[in-house]
A and B are shown apart, each in its own frame.
Chain A
């Protein structure tokens, strides 16, 4: 009798196979994501809540959400006209004599007048008065940080006033545009930490748009920080922390309760946490395409804050800013905000570049990105995105209109701009416009553990599979083996006669 024909032997072999399969399955199961259990240990701020400088401002996603929906107060035309009138009065009142140092108020009034003119679209006059201010300061031997606002404002006015003409091929305007960029760079040199690094991103933006004058198609390849537009980004795989496991380990011990980090020592202790911030920009080919400017990856909060600052405190909505915010938010997994950024960018496509093809391709890119985001959301959530966006934007724009109208009425009523209660009545009538920070601003830290119970299904499947394969194999072998004679003696031998059957009996 063959070994395989013994039932007990077969069952022992199958049992061994089941054990071996179960062991393999269990080993695989323990390593599978299903077996990784996380035990919540608390909620902590995200690494980008640690500012770049002690006491500096740190990014909140609500800030990005709010600029995209215009949820912030903006001064109107009436405000700047009135302030310009007062600034001119202050400048005229200043007693002037050769060699006499003007008061700080005098130079501040020139800055106010220049900024006011810039807001009203009178950049050439703004440039003229700031050039005059620079000459006066240089004559008085002002140096370094004392020249900061002059460099920054003059550079900005030159950029604003000459960009459109430079793009249309005016070489003199192009020269002044580059002079403006160089002046803002000088402003950064003399005061590197001013305005949470916003000026750095102003230079990056201006250099990017300057490069686009020569090669407009760069606008369809990259956003202004160097994120590639043609690459697929899976928002479900992205997050604002680039190494979550390590962050979960460090966060409970390093993050303090004071998110403002006014205390330098606390900030020093926490600043290494910024290494965990997801980095963006300067993606493949960017360095070769731009030849200058920002050519390294940066923590995502830096360009985000820069753009938010330029949007709020500068010229407002801009398709290049909206696109860059969309690309950045997509890369840190903020799907809802990214979707809104693309929606806003697409709605601003007419201001992207004066070229119909570029505008159409830009809009198509925004729509493609939105489709990718929607694919990662529940269908019912995707359907609510546009109505929500429209309601939010409408709310923000109405707030800004009401704010400007209120300013105009108060000014017409003779209320001075420096009245500390100028806006009191407005704030009594309106809710605070800034969105409160939500759950996306916290990190739910958890301790990782392996659940052996969750590996059992893998073990059962492994055991079953291998046992079944072995059982089938044994069955095949048994079939091929010759059948052994039965031990009882009741053998029925075949005879040579056809169909004959003989029974051997006692």
Chain B
């Protein structure tokens, strides 16, 4: 029983130590330097190189497949319609 309790206690203590509060705003003599460096690291225009996803863009790239299919089907239907319309009804063969 005792080893089990010891193990449990160790586990709980370990977990408690592992979970930190979200550390945040510390004001010391180093802060201004760090913030200045932070700003110049990222706002310096000379530093550009691909990072992250593609640029925000508004131009959707047109695909060729769908328009071609639409045109093809449309033309086929037109031809079909013309053929059906042009054909006269043939009289039934005489008995």
Contact = CB atoms under 8 A, between A and B. Distances in A.
Contacts of A209: 21-22
Contact of B94 (A34, A38, A492): A492
A195 B20 contact: no
B94 to A, nearest CB: 5
Contacts of B91: 483, 486
Given A310-B25, A314-B23, A321-B22, A438 B51 contact: yes
Contacts of A467: 77-78, 81-82
Contact of A115 (B15, B26, B35): B26
Interface string A359-399: 00000000000000000000000000000000000000000
B54 to A, nearest CB: 6
Residue from A153, A350, A468 having most chain B Cβ neighbours under 10 A: A468
Which of under 10, 10 to 19, 20 to 34, or 35 or more describes the interface residues of B?
35 or more
A127 interface: no
Contacts of A452: none
A154 B54 CA distance: 43
A11 B73 CA distance: 20
A218 B85 CA distance: 69
A312 B39 CA distance: 13
Nearest to A4: B89
B6 interface: no
A239 B54 CA distance: 11
Which of under 10, 10 to 19, 20 to 34, or 35 or more describes the interface residues of A?
35 or more
Contacts of A224: 22
Given A152-B25, A160-B21, A260-B43, A239 B56 contact: yes
Contacts, number: 285
A57 to B, nearest CB: 5
B52 A160 contact: no
A442 B34 contact: no
Interface string A6-50: 010011011001100000010000000110101010010010000
Nearest to A188: B25
Interface in B69-92: 70-71, 73-78, 80-82, 84-86, 88-89, 91-92
Given A14-B81, A18-B81, A62-B42, A440 B23 contact: no
Given A5-B88, A62-B52, A456-B67, 19 more contacts: A38-B59, A60-B43, A119-B26, A152-B25, A156-B23, A209-B21, A260-B39, A310-B23, A350-B18, A434-B47, A435-B49, A440-B53, A442-B55, A443-B55, A444-B56, A444-B57, A463-B77, A464-B73, A483-B89
Interface of B: 12, 15-31, 34-35, 38-39, 41-43, 45, 47-60, 62, 66-68, 70-71, 73-78, 80-82, 84-86, 88-89, 91-92, 94-95
Interface of A: 5, 7, 10-11, 13-14, 17-18, 25, 33-34, 36, 38, 40, 43, 46, 57-58, 60-63, 65, 75, 108, 111-112, 114-116, 118-119, 148-149, 152-153, 156, 159-160, 162-164, 167-168, 184, 187, 195, 198-199, 201-202, 205-206, 209, 224, 239-241, 244-245, 248, 259-260, 309-310, 312-316, 318, 320-321, 333-337, 350-354, 432, 434-446, 448, 454, 456-465, 467-468, 470-472, 474-475, 478-479, 483, 486, 492, 494, 501
12 contacts: A57-B43, A112-B30, A164-B17, A167-B19, A205-B22, A259-B45, A314-B25, A440-B52, A443-B56, A465-B74, A483-B89, A492-B94
